[in-house]
Amino acid sequence: MDVAHGAEQDLAERLLEAHVAFEVTALRERGLELAVDAIDRVTGLTKDVRLDDVVQREQVKGVATKYVAQHRLPGAIPEVAAEIAGRVRAHPADETRLGELVERRQVAELVTVISELRTLRNQVLRSLASTPGLQAGVGGLVHGIATGGVRQGLRIGRRLPGVAAGIGIGERVAGGAVEGLDRRSRELAEHGAAALLGYLGDRATLSDDELRAAVLEIWDAMAEQPIAALTGALSDEQLTDLCAALYAVWLDLRASPYITAVVEAGIDHFFDTYGDTPVSELLAEFGLSRADLVEEAERFVPPLIAGLDRAALLEELVRPRLAAFYASPAARALLGS
């Protein structure tokens, strides 16, 4: 190695060490300031940059399809979900009343929208009325009608026009199975359930007001119950089984052509709507203003830098990027000139 080359290499190494020390010190002392400055630069530069200029819809579709339909998901997800749900059930917050979680006004608005879907409502009622499995299920419910919660449901139902008539028909066909359970079998109860469902399916004439009143009556009864009363109906083992079953359904569903079509249609609509929008305006429209970005930087950047510094990783993050420059032919040529 000649003297000139040795001096050049020595200078490059000394410059690299000085530069690394400068960058690490800047991160330690002004990390948040540098992050905010980067946010200002990005938001300023993207004022005239459209979404279509920086990302293409086909790229987004490829990523979405990969993670929605193809990405391998951990098999432990159902167990983890069940453990989290179990921990939530044991939390004092689980004693919160359902009515405190969801306001009656919100339920009323939802019921109003549903009640206006008359065609769909009638189709569902008729389909349910003709389902043997549902008839058996409702029959079982009728057969156990003497227990507290269900008896209250019947009491509410009898006060509602249409529903009261249907219950009356079911009771008569069942030969008293509703109140005289010890004298009638489940078979009679199922006959009564079939009559009730058939009555509703044939008529499907609950008015909007009747339907709204019925649902709100049921809601008022449920709203006083704690969430624990609902979640407590499942044991830990049943909760795990339920999570596993739902997860298995999702695994099959996610790979279906229908889900892929839904995802791609959503992406197409997003780009058709916002493709010509400047990125900065798009961020603001979706609630990511400069103030929001700075707030999150203030929340995460200082502890992140402090943690990396304690682990002696700041220099390891900075050095490889700078070393590549000082070892480059361009830097060597400048140092040797």
d(C-alpha 32, C-alpha 175), whole Å = 77
Instruction: Say how many C-beta atoms besides its own lie within 10 A of residue 213's C-beta.
Output: 18
Q: Report the pLDDT value the prediction gives residue 173, as an integer from 0 to 100.
A: 47
- Stated pTM of the model: 0.62
Q: Report the pLDDT value the prediction gives residue 128, as an integer from 0 to 100.
A: 60
Phi and psi at residue 277, to the nearest 5°: -85, 135
**Do the Cβ atoms of 200 and 76 come closer than 8 Å?**
no
Instruction: Say how many C-beta atoms besides its own lie within 10 A of residue 283's C-beta.
Output: 18
d(C-alpha 137, C-alpha 184), whole Å = 16
Q: Report the pLDDT value the prediction gives residue 177, as an integer from 0 to 100.
A: 45
Q: How many alpha carbons lie under 13 Å from residue 217 in its C-beta half-sphere?
A: 17
d(C-alpha 170, C-alpha 188), whole Å = 10
For residue 41, what is the enclosing H or E element?
helix 3-45
Among 285, 292, 336, 289, smallest CA distance to 51 is for 285
- In the beta sheet, which residues pair with residue 50? 278
- Written as tens digits, the pLDDT of the chain (337 aa) is 555 556 667 888 999 999 999 999 999 999 999 999 998 888 887 888 899 998 999 999 999 988 887 777 777 788 888 888 888 888 888 888 888 988 999 999 988 888 777 777 667 666 665 666 555 555 555 555 434 444 555 555 555 444 455 555 455 444 444 444 444 445 555 555 555 555 555 555 567 777 778 778 888 888 888 888 877 777 778 878 888 888 888 888 888 889 889 999 999 999 999 999 998 888 888 888 888 999 999 999 999 999 999 999 999 999 999 999 998 988 888 887 6
- In the beta sheet, which residues pair with residue 226? 97
Among 77, 89, 13, smallest CA distance to 251 is for 77
Q: Report the pLDDT value the prediction gives residue 148, as an integer from 0 to 100.
A: 43
Q: Report the pLDDT value the prediction gives residue 186, as an integer from 0 to 100.
A: 55
The tokens 């939530």 sit on which residue? 88
